[in-house]
Amino acid sequence: MKYFILSLLICTSTYNFGQSTYTFTLDDDSVKYGASGSTLMIFGKLKNTGPISVVIDVIRVQNDLPSGWQSSICTDICYPPTQDSTMIQILAGDSSYFDFSFYSTSVDTGFATVLVRNQGAPTTNVYLQQFLGITTLTGVMEVTALKPRIELFPNPTSSRLSIDMDEEINKVMIYTLNGKLVQTAFNASFSIEQLPQGTYLINVETENGIAKSKFVRID
């Protein structure tokens, strides 16, 4: 069985908030697969590269799991699956390890999104990391990365937003820079007049994965 997984994620990102700088690096691919009933763990690292301490929020903002599955955020410990967020303080020059775990119970696919942000600047350079856990009977699968073309227009926009891409659109999800889901759509053109002015993140679900982009709402 062949799975096609969309991978538009940047595995290393650097953020600058005044004197505080940190990097977020995935040690693994954001897609993890294994046998049914296994725990799928994706490892990463947060490193403070600035001269002062930094406090980082790690928040699970999306948790689309099959029935019976669970997921959790892990730092020095793995938090209960019901806990959506944790706070990490990292001293200057130090690092903190992070992993995201899927606890599978069946042959299926689980999807989650984690927001990483600096508490001192919660709306600046926000990073959303997507994770995908896939189980099969044998734990073996073939993954092919696809990068479909995606364009948003007009951008900026005051009333409607349209999506131009080669894939058929299943679902559109719009988030604030804080990771809050504020609108859902199911076609390639829709009104955004109800949204306040500002910058928004957009996830477009297709049969082959999820494409990410950004747009600006103006008056």
Number of domains in the chain: 2
What pLDDT is stored for residue 10 in this prediction? 34
The pLDDT of residue 8? 31
Owning domain of residue 111: 2-144
**Structure token digits, residue 94:** 């130090």
> What are the average pLDDT values for consecutive 10-residue runs of the chain, which has 219 residues?
33 49 78 86 86 89 92 88 93 88 90 85 70 76 54 91 90 81 92 91 81 84
Beta-ladder partners of 198: 217
pLDDT of residue 71: 95
Say whether both 197 and 117 belong to one domain: no
Q: Are residues 170 and 120 in the same domain?
A: no
With tokens 């950004």, the residue in question is 214
Q: What is the pLDDT of residue 18?
A: 47
Say if residue 133 is in the same domain as residue 47: yes
Looking at the fold, whether 138 and 197 belong to one and the same domain comes out as: no
Residue 158: CATH number of its domain: 2.60.40.1930
CA dist., res. 157 & res. 189, Å (int): 12
Cα dist from 150 to 6, 92, 140, 167, 214, whole Å: 12, 39, 30, 9, 11
The letter for the amino acid at 115 is: L
Confidence (pTM): 0.59
Same domain, 94 and 157: no
Asked if 69 and 43 sit in the same domain, the reply is: yes
The closest of 118, 103, 101, 112 to 24, measured between CA atoms, is: 118
Q: Same domain for 118 and 204?
A: no
- Output the CA angle 80-85-86, nearest 5 degrees: 90
Structural domain ending residue among the three candidates 87, 120, 144: 144
Q: Is the same domain home to 156 and 107? A: no
Return the CATH number at 140.
2.60.40.10
Q: How far apart are CA 10 and CA 91, in angstroms?
A: 25
Copy the structure tokens of residue 125.
């350079």
- Can you give the pLDDT at residue 28? 74
